[in-house]
């Protein structure tokens, strides 16, 4: 492993990739970028402005000058929209329900991909590597990354994790079966969109965390970075 190693990680919702990637970044002394939070932040702004989710032109117009700042400290990742801390509201149900539609807009993806690549270049220029996670990182954003990983888990395990996560942040008790159905529906949307669909890069290493706890998952990914 080099000090400026770039690790690109993709995977479906609820696979545990965010927690794993933060843990890996902390353990290896790397920066961390949650690109999914960036798309959620844009979605939050679009919903706040009352934009029609079926009007791509209106979405583009409302986000063309948006100022999104993503903190890359894995211990305390942060994200703001025009100076407003949106770390909590971007996890709300309305944002979760709308994020696939907003993230499918080509101009939105182009805007955020540019910013994501800029943050990676900034980290490398500063002599520090970075772990970047999302849904098109290995295939579109960073196809030349030093290490490419696809983190996944069974729908049942992902549903249990997401339901527990939502309950843990005060969103109330969640029905696991309903959560599973929502995850499967989002998988279908993310995998079938015309621009940057969720897919496994040919040279990505698949890590299935279905039977692994968080610590075991972090160890498994770190072993790939530092064989």
CATH number of this structure's domain 6-225, picked from the four choices 3.30.2310.20, 3.40.50.80, 3.40.50.720, 3.40.50.300: 3.40.50.300
The strand pairing partners of 84, in sequence order, are 81
Listed by start position, the domains of the chain span 6-225
pLDDT in tens, 96-126: 999 989 999 999 999 999 999 999 999 999 9
Return d(Cα 163, Cα 157) in angstroms, integer. 10
Strand stretches in the chain, DSSP E: 6-10, 31-34, 68-70, 79-81, 84-85, 130-134, 147-152, 205-208
136-183 pLDDT, tens digit per residue, is: 999 999 999 999 999 999 999 998 888 887 776 666 667 888 888 888
CB-count exposure of residue 197 (10 Å: 0-12, 13-18, 19+): middle
Confidence (pTM): 0.91
């Amino acid at each position: 492993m080099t000090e400026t190693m770039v690790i690109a990680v993709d995977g479906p919702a609820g696979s545990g990739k965010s927690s794993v990637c933060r843990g890996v970044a902390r353990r290896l002394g790397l920066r961390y970028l949650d690109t999914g939070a960036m798309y959620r932040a844009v979605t939050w702004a679009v919903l706040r402005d009352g934009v029609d989710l079926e009007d791509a032109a209106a979405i583009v117009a409302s986000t063309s000058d948006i100022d999104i700042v993503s903190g890359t400290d894995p211990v305390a990742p942060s994200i703001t929209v025009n100076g407003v801390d949106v770390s909590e509201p971007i996890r709300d149900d309305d944002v979760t329900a709308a994020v696939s539609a907003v993230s499918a807009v080509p101009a939105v993806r182009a805007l955020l991909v540019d910013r994501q690549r800029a943050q990676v270049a900034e980290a490398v220029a500063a002599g520090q590597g970075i772990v970047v996670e999302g849904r098109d990182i290995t295939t579109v954003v960073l196809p030349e990354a030093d290490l490419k990983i696809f983190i996944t888990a069974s729908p049942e395990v992902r549903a249990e994790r997401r339901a527990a996560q939502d309950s843990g942040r005060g969103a109330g008790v969640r029905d696991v079966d309903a959560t599973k159905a929502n995850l499967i529906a989002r998988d279908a949307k993310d995998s079938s969109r015309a621009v940057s669909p969720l897919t496994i890069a040919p040279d990505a290493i698949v890590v299935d965390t279905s039977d692994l706890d968080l610590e075991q998952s972090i160890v498994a990914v770190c072993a790939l970075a530092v064989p």
